[in-house]
Amino acid sequence: MEGLNLLMTKIKQVGFSNENLLIGMEATGHYWMTLYHEYAEQFSDIFGAASRALLSLYPTAEDIKKIDIRKLTRILKESSKGHMGRKQANRLKNAAKNSFSLSGSNLSFAMEIKFLFSG
């Protein structure tokens, strides 16, 4: 994660935004974890129940940007047995909006995450 954070810092210093930036990486099963590093910062365990529930339905930053805040809050509240709520939903929405993750529709990326986190 340290390498990705350094890269993101350098990219921001140059002045690029996520709308005009494309980073290519080797296609392996592990890079999805760092492509949306802001997501991981919102959970103590990205493999915990709340994170799994969310990623199985909305696997990308683009998906989380689009979800209604009330629906996101409900998913988090139900899957965390009341430990998470509106505050965490707002933080996730903001993280997704500011993410340098994959943008646009990346069906294979979304399907991989859904597969990993469903059932």
Asked if the model's pLDDT at residue 32 lies above 60, the reply is no
Cβ atoms of 97 and 42 within 8 Å: the answer is no
For the segment 69-90, the average pLDDT, to the nearest whole number, is 97
Cα(38)–Cα(34) distance, rounded to whole angstroms? 9
Instruction: Please check whether residue 19 is in contact with residue 65, taking contact to mean a CB–CB distance below 8 angstroms.
Output: no
Looking at residue 34, what is its pLDDT? 46
Residue 92 reports pLDDT greater than 80: yes
Identify the pLDDT of residue 109: 64
Across the chain, mean pLDDT equals 79
